Structure 1
């Protein structure tokens, strides 16, 4: 079974970013739950929400759709969504789709 794990890494202060570590596959089976959980996370996020992709082993079009949708929803709430730590295959996917230009990367 494909499962996406959202492990919050904690918020030290309101000015610190909210960091969520994703792991597993982001695909048609896990995307609905990921969308629901990230949408819920936005309510408690600081002005910067960082998704750590270092544990993501696979992502399909439905997963990319979740990332774009959450980015757009975050923007309407005054929250910036950024990505960090994508594996080479995920970096390539973001580059091929052009999402590397609309989803900022942070170290």
Structure 2
């Protein structure tokens, strides 16, 4: 199960996703949890696109509670980064778990996506 937390207004999200909100001045933080895989990818994509529509100039994805990810989950992050750029929004990843950080390094996506060790640094 993947859960999303965001400061943006709630988008239509499947029942297994619970997005309690929190907002920070000038930016939106979306805290992801669980597994970012092919099963979670459609709901994740829909939710993050909705968050982009309501975000400030900076969208931070807090990955600290993400236990694992696969290429489908990473593909969503790349797609959201491209959409964000088109809207003039900067996307940053924060606090990836060890497995997710290793996957970002192994795929080379750590050089494409801006990754910070902690949310506060993003």
Fold match, TM over 0.5?
yes
Equivalent residue for 1:45?
Answer: 55
Structure 2 residues without counterparts, runs of 5 or longer = 8-21
Structure 1 residues without counterparts, runs of 5 or longer = none
Equivalent residue for 1:8?
Answer: 6
Equivalent residue for 1:76?
Answer: 86
Deviations 1:14-64 (A, max 9, x none): xx2210100000111110000000001111001110000000011011001
Residue 11 of structure 1 and its aligned partner are, at CA, apart by 2.1
Deviations 1:56-83 (A, max 9, x none): 0110110010000000000000001000
- CA RMSD across the alignment: 1.0
Q: Distance in 2 between matches of 1:87 and 1:102?
A: 18
Equivalent residue for 1:33?
Answer: 43
Equivalent residue for 2:19?
Answer: none
Q: Distance in 1 between matches of 2:101 and 2:71?
A: 14
Q: Distance in 1 between matches of 2:50 and 2:6?
A: 12
Per the normalisation by structure 1, the TM-score is 0.91
